[in-house]
DNA sequence: AACAAAAAAAAA
């Protein structure tokens, strides 16, 4: 009879309740066979599985086999009380320890090879599966612990003769009998690579879902005596339920009916929006690059393309990637308002925010439904309809799972980790597979991240995915590189060369080539800003003071925090109380300043409040919608100067105290033959932050020559002129080439780190070593996270809890500490001093932190502050071991100064 | 000699 479990097999356990968990469940363990079938059932029903191109019976069998390694004594002895003596006799005194994922691969690939042979077919010419190719499928299902596994030949010889070999063969035969799959045809190499990566992802996703005890209650060994019966009558119904609860039930995409159906507020589409509503998209996976001015409605235009790609069956969901958590949070709000329009009204797609701090965002936390809320049967109809935006708790709980939601918004890092050899990269791949990958602000990346981006586009295209890139302007070189990466993923090695310098511009890329489509700018958005160079700090200071005297809204963007603070102090001496804004504040204070700055200088600011000076670091460069009458800035690379200039006269205003379309750039004169000290003499900090002085020099020179920044008129020319490395003055050549070298090294480092799709899911596809942590961003120098605390009544309180009482509650603990953080260069502060009598209180406070934060005590510092006039003070040591005083001032932020002697 | 902002970090 089909699917009858041989006597002993049902006693093998697959899951055991962790010690200490409630005993109110019927069984202490879950049979191995049951767990295998649970997970297989989830795989068969998971909508994402359809992309694999496998028959459900084939998929079910492959995924069921993922835990084959658990038949070994090594695994069964892990909980001696559950040792299956009915099958294996008494528990031996010693059992060799071994990993069940590695053992699983050996059992599948070697021990059970002949039993499982019927799964593999031959093609029309009688050509059969290569042994190595079969091994890849086994690797995909066996390597379900986050990274690919290799066969250990010594272990393979041992296992081949072990008693459990017979059990493994029986188990394989049993599962084969449950699923009775038709043979899988011989794949092309390309198909195989796609299949193995995707299979690896599906196995992990479904194993995570199928391992939830509350969705798959433990059963008794006798319940799996009829394995096929268990699969059909228990596993499948539970899997369907589980998928709905996880927020991964099937959803249907709505047909595209025009931009107005997605965004009620769009009455008249902008030219780029109108173009993208109509333009013919290339067949198959497509890359669409949209370059247009800020304020032109690029995001809406991108969602139009995304919807069209989805509606034409090329994708089932969307992931929006942004450069920062703050921009991701803001985008989450915008997408939340529109995403339901992508799907049929009856569908309940999940929308998730994916980044390290997602659950600290109150807007996301508010839409996280309890586990059962998405279970259609359990939720009253009224509530279903009311739930405009929702995300299952299971998805929301963790960033890797959040990527699985039908619509996701998050940091680019979350997507980049899909192409890095980090644990469970495959689940991130599974999350992105079948989605439109929308990358916003895609110019904002350094060489390391650019190389990762290229790798991501290539991998995504290899998996059949489409992508949309948004930017104000890309250099041609970057656009070329990203286009080439996508085409490489489509196996199109023939180079295409970009020619258009039009702006705005839409670039369309597909299997059959590339087209560039110029586009008109949105009417009324054109800008022309004059650029005035100022050669000394003092002169800028005079201008700022004068403008403040006239009641203007003035901003000075400085390149270092120390300069920001020093400038604000100098202004104060002249009677001008400037507001200070940079990132060296505790998060709670930074957010408060941000709110204040937005109220004063934002879109809805009142003329009476606007008079005043803001001295800020790069924090106001992007994403904050600020508007100043007068804008000064330290010299910076061209794209950043253009970004900063966008903060001048950004909004329509009736009257301005100073009414001039002009920015002032503090920069040394771009003389023809600058000496090596050219930038450092005037702006030493700037030289350290922006390492290529030639880039700064070309920026200053181009600005001076053109005299204006005109959008859309000359921004492309300005950026290309600043990036033209063929013009590098001799005096700056050395420093410039050092900087270029750093960039190349970073680029190379990324290329060494990334995963190679074409090598398949093997240990060799990347640096998978467990002790290597591959970062998504390179850190040029180490930073520590300083958490500010205050000792009161023998207890350490997070700084934030003193500022906001609601954060003092126990449940707000995590949030309170996160809001009390400041990031400081380790060179300045490496350790904090804790007085003898505060030691216990500090230890108690740290004990409440997450394991990661607790254990990395050289990276997560707790600084005890004592209140002093105007702020607070603490003590510590810098990286050289010198004693320092940390001053925290409510207006100026955190400063580290040498401790007074003695 | 001098240094922005930015992200990540537990398993099935």
Largest CA distance in chain A: 94
Cβ-defined contacts of A849-855 (< 8 Å, 24+): A849/A817, A850/A814
Per-residue buried b or exposed e for A205-219, using 16+ beta carbons within 10 Å of the residue's own CB: bbbbbbbbeebbebb
Stretch A640-665: mean pLDDT:
95
Nearest DNA or RNA nucleotide to A145 (CA to C1') = B12
Supply the pLDDT for residue A20: 54
If one compares A493 and A692, the residue with the highest pLDDT of the two is A692
Distance CA A300, CA A863 (A): 45
pLDDT at A377: 43
Residue pLDDT, tens place only, A606-645: 999 999 999 999 999 988 999 999 999 999 999 999 999 9
Alpha carbons A44 and A199: distance in angstroms, whole number: 12
Per the structure block, which two tokens stand in for A470?
A: 């948004």
CA-to-CA distance for A743 and A196, rounded, in angstroms? 34
What is the token pair recorded at A667? 């920069």
| Helix axes A131-142 and A56-64, enclosed angle (nearest 10) | 70
Nearest residue to A134 (alpha-carbon basis) of A152, A149, A151, A113: A113
Separation between Cα atoms, residue A292 and residue A298, nearest integer Å? 7
Tokens encoding A30: 């879950």
- pLDDT tens digit sequence for A309-318: 999 999 999 9
Q: Which of residues 183-222 of A touch strand B (CB under 7 A)?
A: 207-208, 211-212
Rounded Cα gap, residues A256 and A774, in angstroms:
40
Pair A303, A262: CB distance under 8 Å: yes
Mean pLDDT of A401-422: 97
A212, closest nucleotide (Cα–C1'): B12
Least confident residue range of A297-301, A386-390, A758-762: A386-390
Residue identified by tokens 């209180």 is A841
- Write out which nucleotides of chain B lie closer than 7 A to a protein Cβ: 1-12
- Provide CB contacts within 8 A for A333, sequence distance 6+: A363
Beta carbons of A477 and A726 less than 8 angstroms apart: no
pLDDT in tens, A537-564: 999 999 999 999 999 999 999 999 999 9
Q: In A440-502, which residue ranges form alpha helices assigned H by DSSP? A: 447-462, 476-489
Task: For strand B, list residues 457-486 of chain A whose Cβ lies within 7 Å of it.
Answer: none
User: Which structure tokens are listed for A254?
Assistant: 């709505």
pLDDT of A374 over the 60 cut = no
Hits for CB < 7 Å against strand B across A residues 222-281:
none
How much is the average pLDDT of A292-296?
91
- Output the distance from A617 CA to B5 C1' rounded to whole Å: 9
Cα(A207)–Cα(A216) distance, integer angstroms: 11
Judge whether A224 and A31 are in contact, CB under 8 Å.
yes
Return the pLDDT at A378.
44
- Coil vs helix vs strand at A332: helix
A59-101 pLDDT per residue, tens: 999 999 999 999 999 999 999 999 999 989 999 999 889 999 9
Could you report the per-residue pLDDT of A225-261, keeping only the tens digit for each? Answer: 999 999 999 999 999 999 999 999 999 999 999 999 9
What's the whole-number average pLDDT of chain A? 93
Confidence of residue A162 (pLDDT cuts 50, 70, 90): confident
- Scanning residues 844 through 883 of protein chain A, those with a beta carbon under 7 Å from any atom of strand B turn out to be 850-852, 856, 859
Structure tokens at A35: 């767990």
Using pLDDT thresholds of 50, 70 and 90, give the confidence band for residue A375.
very low
Structure tokens at A341: 């329009």
Whole-number Å distance, CA A656 to C1' B3?
36
Rounded, the Å distance between the CA of A7 and C1' of B3 is 69
pLDDT band at A19 (very low <50, low <70, confident <90, very high): low
Q: Residue A96 corresponds to which tokens in the numbers above?
A: 């060799």
pLDDT given for residue A495 in this prediction: 85
Q: Which of residues 360-389 of A touch strand B (CB under 7 A)?
A: none
Among A564, A540, A626, residue whose Cα is nearest residue A889: A564
Q: Is A869 exposed, middle or buried (0-12, 13-18, 19+ CB in 10 A)?
A: exposed
Nucleotide nearest to A413 (CA to C1'): B7
DSSP state of A182: P
Tokens of A815: 């949030």
Distance between CA atoms of A709 and A665, rounded to whole angstroms? Answer: 12
Q: What is the mean pLDDT of residues A793-797?
A: 93
Give chain A residues 294-323 with Cβ within 7 A of strand B.
Answer: 323
Of all nucleotides, the one whose C1′ comes closest to residue A559's CA is B4
Average pLDDT over residues A108-115: 97
Instruction: Check whether residue A753 has its CB closer than 7 Å to nucleic acid strand B.
Output: no
Helix (H) or strand (E) holding A529: strand A527-534
CA A608/CA A539 separation, integer angstroms: 27
Nucleotide minimizing C1' to CA distance for residue A204: B12
Specify the pLDDT at position A384: 44
Residue A485 near residue A459, CB atoms below 8 Å: no
| pLDDT bracket for residue A859 (50, 70, 90) | very high
Q: Which nucleotide is closest, CA of A618 to its C1'?
A: B4
- Give the pLDDT mean for A680-695: 97
Q: Are A320 and A331 in contact (CB under 8 A)?
A: yes
SS3 readout for A624-673? CCCCECEEEEECCCHHHHHHHHCCECCCCCCCCCCCCCEEEEECCCCCCC
pLDDT exceeds cutoff 80 at A370:
no
Return the closest-CA partner of residue A235 out of A289, A290, A179, A196. Answer: A179
* Closest residue to B1 (CA, C1′): A684
Q: How far is the CA of A878 from the C1' of B2 (A)?
A: 16
Q: Annotate A442-454 with DSSP letters as a single string.
A: TT---HHHHHHHH
Helix (H, G, I), strand (E, B) or coil at A105: helix
Q: Which two tokens stand for residue A846?
A: 């740290």
Task: Give the distance, in angstroms, between residue A401 CA and nucleotide B4 C1'.
Answer: 32
Going by pLDDT thresholds of 50, 70 and 90, the confidence category of residue A371 is low
pLDDT of A759 > 50? The answer is: yes
Give the whole-angstrom CA distance, residue A101 versus residue A770. 15
CA atoms within 13 A on the CB side of A452: 27
What's the pLDDT score for residue A24? Answer: 56
| Residue A374 to residue A366: CA distance in whole angstroms | 15
Read off the pLDDT of each residue in A422-450 and give the average, rounded to a whole number: 95
Strand A287-291, strand A783-792: pairing: unpaired
- Mean pLDDT over A799-805 rounds to 94
pLDDT of residue A372: 43
Could you tell me the distance in Å between the CA of residue A637 and the C1' of nucleotide B10? 41
For the CA of A364 and the C1' of B10, the distance in angstroms is: 22
The predicted-structure confidence for A581-590, as pLDDT tens digits, reads as follows 999 999 999 9
| Amino acid A349 CA to nucleotide B8 C1' distance, rounded Å | 27
Protein chain A, residues 678-717, with a C-beta closer than 7 Å to any atom of nucleic acid strand B: 684-685, 688-689
Separation of CA A675 and C1' B9 in angstroms?
A: 44
Residue A900 CA, nucleotide B4 C1', distance (Å): 29
Report d(CA A497, CA A642) in Å as an integer.
27
DSSP-assigned beta bridge partners for residue A184? A120
pLDDT above 70 covers what percent of chain A? 96
A564 CA to B3 C1', in Å? 13
CA/C1' separation A422–B8 (Å): 11
- What is the band of A381 on the pLDDT scale with cuts at 50, 70, 90? very low
Using the structure, give the distance in angstroms from the CA atom of A775 to the C1' atom of B8, rounded to a whole number. 7
Sign of CA pseudo-dihedral A301, A305, A308, A310: negative
At which residue do the structure tokens 């890797």 appear?
A400
Residues 49-88 of A with CB under 7 A from strand B: none
Q: How far is the CA of A46 from the C1' of B11 (A)?
A: 21
Question: What's the CA A630/C1' B2 distance, rounded, in angstroms?
Answer: 29
Q: How many CB atoms are located within 10 Å of the residue A764 CB?
A: 11
For the segment 769-798 of chain A, residues whose CB is within 7 A of strand B: 775-781, 783, 785
CA–C1' distance A549–B10 (Å)?
A: 56
Asked whether the beta carbons of A613 and A544 are under 8 A apart, the reply is yes
Q: Is the pLDDT reported for residue A380 higher than 90? A: no
pLDDT score recorded for residue A84: 94
Residue percentage of chain A with pLDDT more than 90: 88
Q: Is A261 exposed, middle or buried (0-12, 13-18, 19+ CB in 10 A)?
A: middle
pLDDT-based confidence at residue A163 (cuts at 50, 70, 90): confident
- Using alpha carbons, select from A852, A846, A880, A882 the residue that is nearest to residue A864: A846
Q: Average of pLDDT values for A688-711?
A: 97
Strand B proximity: list residues 401-460 of A with CB under 7 Å: 401, 410-411, 413-414, 417, 423, 446
Instruction: Give the E-state strand segments of A757-833 in sequence order.
Output: 783-792, 795-798, 821-825, 831-832
Tokens of residue A484, six digits: 């080439």
Gap from A452 CA to B1 C1', in Å?
Answer: 32
* A531/A635 Cα distance (integer angstroms): 12
| Residue that is written with structure tokens 């927020």 in the block | A247
Contact A900, A878 (CB under 8 A): no
Identify the residues numbered 598 to 657 in chain A whose C-beta atom is closer than 7 Å to any atom of strand B.
617-619
Which window residues (96-135, chain A) lie with Cβ within 7 Å of strand B? none
Residue bearing tokens 């009161």: A792
Among A663, A633, A658, A667, smallest CA distance to A648 is for A663
Angstrom distance (rounded) from CA A775 to CA A759: 21
Q: Check pLDDT > 70 for residue A710.
A: yes
The pLDDT, as a whole number, for residue A369 is 74
CA A671 to chain centre: 43
Q: What phi and psi, each to the nearest 5 degrees, are found at residue A744?
A: -65, -40
Partners of A181 in beta bridges: none
Using the structure, give the distance in angstroms from the CA atom of A828 to the C1' atom of B7, rounded to a whole number: 21
């Amino acid at each position: 009879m089909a699917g009858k479990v041989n006597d002993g097999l049902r006693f093998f356990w697959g899951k055991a309740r962790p010690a200490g968990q409630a005993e109110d469940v019927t069984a202490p363990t879950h049979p191995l066979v049951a767990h295998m079938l649970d997970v297989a059932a989830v795989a068969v029903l998971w909508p994402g599985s359809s992309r694999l191109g496998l028959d459900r019976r084939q998929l079910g069998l492959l995924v069921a086999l993922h835990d084959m390694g658990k038949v070994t004594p090594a695994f069964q002895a892990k909980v001696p009380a559950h040792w299956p003596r009915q099958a294996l006799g008494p528990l031996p005194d010693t059992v060799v320890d071994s990993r069940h994922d590695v053992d699983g691969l050996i059992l599948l690939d070697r021990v059970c090879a002949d039993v499982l042979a019927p799964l593999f077919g031959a093609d029309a010419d009688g050509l059969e599966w290569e042994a190595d190719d079969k091994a890849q499928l086994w690797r995909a299902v066996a390597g379900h612990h986050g990274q690919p596994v290799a066969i250990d030949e010594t272990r393979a010889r041992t296992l081949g003769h072990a008693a459990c070999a017979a059990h493994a063969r029986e188990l394989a035969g049993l599962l084969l009998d449950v699923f009775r799959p038709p043979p899988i045809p011989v794949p092309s190499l390309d198909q195989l690579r796609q299949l193995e990566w995707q299979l690896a992802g599906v196995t992990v996703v479904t194993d995570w879902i199928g391992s939830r005890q509350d969705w798959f209650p433990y059963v008794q060994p006798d319940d799996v005596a009829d394995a096929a019966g268990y699969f059909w009558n228990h596993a499948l119904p539970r899997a369907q339920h589980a998928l709905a609860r996880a927020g991964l039930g099937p959803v249907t995409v709505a047909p595209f009916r025009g931009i107005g159906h997605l965004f009620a507020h769009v009455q008249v589409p902008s030219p780029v929006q109108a173009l993208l509503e109509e333009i013919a998209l290339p067949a198959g996976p497509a890359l669409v690059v949209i370059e247009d001015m800020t304020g032109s409605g690029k995001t809406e235009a991108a969602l139009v393309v995304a919807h069209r790609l989805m509606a034409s069956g090329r994708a089932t969901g969307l992931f929006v990637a942004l450069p920062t958590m703050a921009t991701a949070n803001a985008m989450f709000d915008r997408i939340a308002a529109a995403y339901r329009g992508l799907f049929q009204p009856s569908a309940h797609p999940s929308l998730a925010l994916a980044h390290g701090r997602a659950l600290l965002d109150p807007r996301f936390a508010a839409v996280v439904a309890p586990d059962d809320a998405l279970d259609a049967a359990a939720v009253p109809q009224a509530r279903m309809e009311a739930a405009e935006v929702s995300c299952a708790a299971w998805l929301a709980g963790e960033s890797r799972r959040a990527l699985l939601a039908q619509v996701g918004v998050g940091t680019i890092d979350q997507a980049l980790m899909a192409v890095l050899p980090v644990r469970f990269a495959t689940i991130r791949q599974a999350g992105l597979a079948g989605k439109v990958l929308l990358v916003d602000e895609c110019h904002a990346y350094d060489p390391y991240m650019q190389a990762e981006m290229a790798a991501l586009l290539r991998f995504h295209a290899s998996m059949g995915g489409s992508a949309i890139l948004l930017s104000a302007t890309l250099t041609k070189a970057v656009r070329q590189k990203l286009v080439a990466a996508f085409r490489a993923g489509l196996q199109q090695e023939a180079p295409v060369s970009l020619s258009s310098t039009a702006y705005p511009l839409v670039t369309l890329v597909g299997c059959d080539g590339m087209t560039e489509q110029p586009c008109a700018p949105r009417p009324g958005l054109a800008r022309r800003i004059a650029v005035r160079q100022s050669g000394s700090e003092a002169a800028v200071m005079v201008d700022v003071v004068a403008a403040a005297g006239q009641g203007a809204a003035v901003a000075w963007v400085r390149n270092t925090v120390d300069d920001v603070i020093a400038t604000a102090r100098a202004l104060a001496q002249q009677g001008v109380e400037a507001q200070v804004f940079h990132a060296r504040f505790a998060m709670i204070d930074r957010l408060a300043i941000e709110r204040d700055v937005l109220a004063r200088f934002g879109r809805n600011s009142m003329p009476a409040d606007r008079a005043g000076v803001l001295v800020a670091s790069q924090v106001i460069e992007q994403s904050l919608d600020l508007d100043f009458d007068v804008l000064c800035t330290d010299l910076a690379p061209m794209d950043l100067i253009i970004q900063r200039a966008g903060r001048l006269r950004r909004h329509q205003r009736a009257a301005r105290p100073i009414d001039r379309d002009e920015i002032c750039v503090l920069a040394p004169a771009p003389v023809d033959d600058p000496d090596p000290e050219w930038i450092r003499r005037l702006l030493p900090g700037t030289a350290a932050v922006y390492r290529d002085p030639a880039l700064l020099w070309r920026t200053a020179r181009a600005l001076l020559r053109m005299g204006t920044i005109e959008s859309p008129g000359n921004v492309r020319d300005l950026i290309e002129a600043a990036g033209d490395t063929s013009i590098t003055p001799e005096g700056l050549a050395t420093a410039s080439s050092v900087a270029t070298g750093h960039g190349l090294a970073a680029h190379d480092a990324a290329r060494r780190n990334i995963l190679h799709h074409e090598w398949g899911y093997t240990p060799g596809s990347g640096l998978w070593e467990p002790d290597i942590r591959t970062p998504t961003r390179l850190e040029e120098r180490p930073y520590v996270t300083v958490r500010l605390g205050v000792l009161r009544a023998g207890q350490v309180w997070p700084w934030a809890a003193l500022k906001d009482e609601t954060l003092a509650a126990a449940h707000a603990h995590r949030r309170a500490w996160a809001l009390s953080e400041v990031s400081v260069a380790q060179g300045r502060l490496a350790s904090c001093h804790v007085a003898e009598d505060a030691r216990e209180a500090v230890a108690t406070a740290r004990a409440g932190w997450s394991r990661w934060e607790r254990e990395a005590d050289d990276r997560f510092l707790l600084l005890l502050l004592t209140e002093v006039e105007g702020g607070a003070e603490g003590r510590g040591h810098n990286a050289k071991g010198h004693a320092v005083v940390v001053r925290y001032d409510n207006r100026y932020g955190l400063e580290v100064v040498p401790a007074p002697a003695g």
